[in-house]
Amino acid sequence: MNTVPWTATRARTLLQAIALGTLYYLLARPVANLESANSLAAIAWPAPATAIAFLWPLPPRQWFPFLLAVLAAVASNGHFSAESWRSDVGFCLLNVFEVAFCAWLGRRYVGASGTLSTTSALIRFLVLLPLVGIGLTAMLGATFAADLGGDSWWREWQILFVGNGVAVLVLVPALLAWRDRSSGAAPGGLPGGRLSALAGCLAVVTILAATAALHLSEEVQRGVLALVLAAVAIYGGLPAAATTVATAAILGVSLTLVHLGPYQYEGANSSWSLQVDMAGLAILTFFVAVATRERRQLALRLERARRMESLGLLAGGVAHDFNNILAAVDGYAEIAHDRLPEGSSARPALDEVRTASARGRDLTEQILLAARRGDRVREMLELASVVGEAVALARPLSRNGVVIDIEANGGPWPVAAHRGQLVRAVLNLVRNACLAARSRVVVRVASAGSMAAPLAVGDTPPGSAVWIEVEDDGAGIPAEHLVHLFEPFYSTRAQGSGTGLGLAIVAGVACEHQGGVSVETSGTGTRFRLVLPLAEAAPSPRAGQLGNGEAVVLIGGDPASRERSENWLAELGFEPLGYGDASEAFEALADATDLRDSIALLLADLDGLSMDGADLAEHLREQVPALRVILCSDNSDVVTVARAARATVLPKPFDREALGRAAASALKTLP
């Protein structure tokens, strides 16, 4: 059944290999024997760089036919006479090694997609490819050429290193950037990138033609080019800058080789000085482009954070008030349900009330997560089990023909997280990937390797990190949608087929757990990565019946809320002691000295209390030294207060599950 697609894929690969081999031959032919008779195509500057840029985004298992085409193209430029066959064979293999080694270095240590969108990725590219990769190739080639009776080792190394190093430096970023553009993604570009590239190339052609015609000095040409390249980098981004730099290098070297331009007066090595200057200009331009992009990304993230903060204040206030009403409805419905006898006709109606309340709580929870004001109660989880649960929920909902695979080798990966939130986030990513995929979605869990792309939202966790990758083989995400992906209520689906909260919830969950989300997209698929801090402790089972008759001091000004919490604590196995204010609790505990030894927890609702949470905790710990404390509030400042009080946070509104998780977490902490 798969014969036709398999045959079509092999035919397409064969045609691509033939095209690459033909292009390599045409690019290598004019300079195959320049400068050194013993260097077969070794300084064919554009050819290896072109092959490196082509192979870089492809998995290494697909490289063989393309490397074979490169070998054939280089061999076609050789003479293979009785005197030269050894050098011809040697430099054929050297070219293939150069292409494969540099493409592997870039894919393995810079980034599989080939995007140089961060300063660290650019530094790794500069160190590994033009310096390490080409430097090692030049050493091998110089040693081989010197053994065959060529020039001195240093002379041969100079020719090989400078020519190929500059070509890789200026051409590979340009080819990678424009390959991304042709596939629908331009990670380093700006909306006006194409126009800036065109304007920059025209300016470079004009400048180089003018300097050649007017016999201007190298200093003038270098200064004017630097200004033009910096302007293109700032206004056009890395793709435009790389294209302009490549144009300047190719045209500058071409003019110098035909004895035009300011570098013609340096004799036979005139192109060497120009290439060194172009390398310096290229490095400067790339750093300006990447730094400008990072600055824009930071400004965009700050603006997005301000919008999310405003939305969070509005949504949080409305959702909390609404959730308080739902909690009261659900709580009293549950109490009434339990007090009615079995078989009562009112019980089904109360069940419907509780079901509607649960749906309302779920909706408000989604809004709170999208606004990044979710439940901060955590438990120790094994990440692989969370992913398995989310994928199990997603499989029945996926389109026909889409396969979901899990790759989770290694582990364990313990994380301190809210299980429901994390499952929801992974489920949203997997469902989105299933809708976009052609046939396959891959979910990976890993904690080793480099970051695939800079985080679009959130921050890199301090210390060790673990991430969940969800990758599809779809058509990718258009560039104009990337900046809006994580905004609440933003959706590209047909009206009525989505809420626009899916990725906003993923971003909210990541930020609530001190992590972040990155996204990579191209014409062959999209990869989302949810990054979380890796916990050091081993995962523990979820809370069930927590207490064994221990007393819990419950302080809260709202009688209805206090009564619900007392009922829930009793169901968890505790003996609740409810008080309306702190002074009432102090008086009761002062009189009941025999009760203090049985007190395990303090649950204090800070809203409406006149006493600070930290002072309240310290005062009660004077009477009960081993007291664990839970502080609840609908104010985000409760996190700071809880840190000072060495307490567990329970954001309001909460349900019985959230209260149980908070109690379990508090009982594991030191008082």
**DSSP of 78-127, one letter per residue?**
----TTTHHHHHHHHHHHHHHHHHHHHHIIIII-TT----SHHHHHHHHI
Q: Two tokens at 397? A: 């909902």
Please give the pLDDT value at position 37.
Answer: 35
The rounded percent of the chain whose pLDDT value lies above 90 is 7
Q: How many CB atoms lie within 10 A of CB 399?
A: 9
> What phi, psi does 532 have (nearest 5°)?
-135, 155
State the amino acid at position 601 in one-letter form. Answer: L
Q: What is the pLDDT of residues 268-302, one digit of tens each?
A: 455 667 777 888 888 999 999 888 888 887 787 77
Q: Rounded to an integer, what distance in angstroms lies between the CA atom of residue 634 and that of residue 655?
A: 14
pLDDT confidence band for 424 (50 / 70 / 90)? confident
Query: Contact at 8 Å (CB) between 614 and 637?
Result: no
Q: What is the pLDDT of residues 596-614, one digit of tens each?
A: 667 878 888 877 777 777 7
Please give the pLDDT value at position 102.
Answer: 92
605 CB-contact burial (10 Å; exposed 0-12 / middle 13-18 / buried 19+): buried
In this predicted structure, the answer to whether residue 348 has a pLDDT above a threshold of 80 is yes
232 CB-contact burial (10 Å; exposed 0-12 / middle 13-18 / buried 19+): buried
Query: Contact at 8 Å (CB) between 263 and 218?
Result: yes
Please report which helix (H) or strand (E) contains residue 579, including its range.
strand 575-579
Question: Per residue, what are the HEC states of 404-444?
Answer: EEEECCCCCCEEEECHHHHHHHHHHHHHHHHHHCCCEEEEE
pLDDT confidence band for 105 (50 / 70 / 90)? very high
Query: Contact at 8 Å (CB) between 34 and 40?
Result: no
In sequence order, the 6+-apart residues with CB closer than 8 A to the CB of 300 are 483
Look at residues 428, 519, 524, 422 and name the one whose alpha carbon lies nearest to residue 472. 524
Q: What is the pLDDT of residues 325-344, one digit of tens each?
A: 787 888 888 888 888 888 88
**Which domains does the chain carry?**
1-182 (1.10.1760), 306-370 (1.10.287.130), 380-533 (3.30.565.10), 551-668 (3.40.50.2300)
3-class DSSP state of 525: strand
In this predicted structure, the answer to whether residue 266 has a pLDDT above a threshold of 70 is no
Q: What is the pLDDT of residues 208-264, one digit of tens each?
A: 888 888 877 778 888 888 898 888 888 888 888 888 888 888 888 778 777 777 776
Please give the pLDDT value at position 356.
Answer: 83
First to last CA, the chain: 65
254 CB-contact burial (10 Å; exposed 0-12 / middle 13-18 / buried 19+): middle
Question: Per residue, what are the HEC states of 352-387?
Answer: HHHHHHHHHHHHHHHHHHHCCCCCCCCEEEEHHHHH
Please report which helix (H) or strand (E) contains residue 203, including its range.
helix 193-214
**Cα angle 361, 367, 372; round to 5:** 120
Mean pLDDT across 3-17: 73
pLDDT confidence band for 94 (50 / 70 / 90)? confident
Q: Is 41 left (phi over 0), alpha (psi -120 to 50) or beta?
A: left
In this predicted structure, the answer to whether residue 38 has a pLDDT above a threshold of 50 is no
In this predicted structure, the answer to whether residue 538 has a pLDDT above a threshold of 60 is no
Mean pLDDT across 170-195: 65
Sheet bearing 516-522, strands edge to edge: 403-407, 440-446, 465-472, 525-533, 516-522, 455-458
Query: Contact at 8 Å (CB) between 188 and 240?
Result: no
Please give the pLDDT value at position 302.
Answer: 76
State the amino acid at position 539 in one-letter form. Answer: P
Which of 99-103, 148-152, 649-653 shows the highest mean pLDDT?
99-103
Q: Rounded to an integer, what distance in angstroms lies between the CA atom of residue 310 and that of residue 603?
A: 30
Question: Per this entry, what is the length of the chain?
Answer: 671
Range with lowest mean pLDDT among 55-59, 448-452, 528-532:
448-452
